[in-house]
Amino acid sequence: MEIVDAAEASGRGALSILERRGSALDAVTQAIVILEDDERTNAGTGSRLRIDGRAQMDASLMTDDLECGAVAALEGVRNPILVARKVMETPHVLLVGEDAVRFARRMGFGPYDPITPASRERWRESLERIRSGRLPPHAKRWRRFRDLVGTVGAVARDSRGRFCAGSSTGGTAFMMPGRVGDSPIVGSGIYCGPAGAVSVTGAGEEIVRRVLSKDVYDRMARGRSTRVACREGLKLFPRTVPVGIIAVGADGPAEACNREMAWWTNGRARGRASHRIV
């Protein structure tokens, strides 16, 4: 459990906001900033690199009044989740690529290089595996090959009963430039409404196909317990596909995952970070 302490630190940061009667939105934002700044996670500093050696990051936030903001393929910014939060203040939901970077700069986010020696090294290893054909037997296509270290996400319910969900990632291994996974896609990587908040991680393409966060949310809205909704969501996937789900509803928090991916940090808020699994 190499980065459990990161999830714990992020949970503590979020909880200190909730204990001061802060909002679920502020708590989730803070939880994710802490995880993005921890270079062991695959979000913000330390993000995975595309096959061309660039870091393109995705992040999203959503609150129970259906307000949302997201960025995809964002480069040269320290905290993508803070840019996603600024997108919430615009009439739009998702900004991508160079225009998202321009928006970030206009909002005062200065240039920053999120690439670390470790992420550069992982990238070199990945290229070497591609070149030498040393992919595992199940890696017939990249999308079936996973080498994940810590996409991050958080869900929270505040003292007023308001919910928020968020997610941030550098993506997965062996990504083409411009590839976008589930994390910034409302309904796939996150969903939030009056019945609760859901944030998921894992094989982005498989999650998008199943619109997983909205699926789990809908189960909660239909009266399923948060725990059962998470478990039923997980059952949509074959075991070969890594998936982690965290959610909080009126009945409290729950998680479901088929790898070591989701951790308790306290009774009301959770951080999550996925693990190296290959």
Q: Which of the residues are catalytic?
A: 151
Residue 172 engages ligand ASP in binding (rule: CB under 6 A): yes
Number of other CB atoms surrounding residue 168 within 10 Å? 33
- Least distance between ligand ASP and beta carbon 183 (Å): 5
DSSP classification of residue 176: P
Residue 202 engages ligand ASP in binding (rule: CB under 6 A): yes
Residue 169 engages ligand ASP in binding (rule: CB under 6 A): yes
Residue closer to ligand ASP by CB (options 30, 172) is 172
Residue 196 engages ligand ASP in binding (rule: CB under 6 A): no
Single residue of 44, 46, 181, 253 touching ligand ASP by CB under 6 A? 181
Can you list the pairs that 98-106 forms with residues at least 24 positions away whose Cβ atoms lie under 8 Å? 100/71, 100/72, 100/73, 100/74, 101/74, 101/75, 101/76, 101/77, 104/71, 104/74, 104/77
Do the Cβ atoms of 166 and 61 come closer than 8 Å? yes
Closest CA to 41 of 147, 170, 155: 170
Residue 183 engages ligand ASP in binding (rule: CB under 6 A): yes
Single residue of 28, 82, 101, 148 touching ligand ASP by CB under 6 A? 148
Among residue numbers 17 through 56, which ones bind ligand ASP (CB under 6 A)? 42
Among residue numbers 55 through 84, which ones bind ligand ASP (CB under 6 A)? none
Of the candidate spans 7-15, 16-24, 124-132, 176-184, the one that interacts with ligand ASP by CB under 6 A turns out to be 176-184
Closest CA to 79 of 49, 39, 51, 118: 39
Of the candidate spans 33-41, 60-68, 197-205, 252-260, the one that interacts with ligand ASP by CB under 6 A turns out to be 197-205
Torsion angle (degrees, nearest 10) of CA 98, 67, 206, 146: 60
Residue 153 engages ligand ASP in binding (rule: CB under 6 A): no
- Least distance between ligand ASP and beta carbon 217 (Å): 17
Residue closer to ligand ASP by CB (options 17, 244) is 244
- Least distance between ligand ASP and beta carbon 251 (Å): 26
Of the candidate spans 29-37, 49-57, 136-144, 200-208, the one that interacts with ligand ASP by CB under 6 A turns out to be 200-208
Beta-bridge partner residues of 253: 248
Closest CA to 7 of 275, 273, 276: 273
- Least distance between ligand ASP and beta carbon 137 (Å): 21
Distance spanning both ends of the chain, measured CA to CA: 15
How far apart (Å, rounded) are the C-alpha atoms in residues 219 and 22?
28
How far apart (Å, rounded) are the C-alpha atoms in residues 48 and 41?
9
Of the candidate spans 22-30, 81-89, 93-101, 166-174, the one that interacts with ligand ASP by CB under 6 A turns out to be 166-174
Instruction: State the residues that interact with ligand ASP by CB under 6 A.
Output: 42, 148, 151, 169, 171-172, 181-183, 201-202, 204, 274
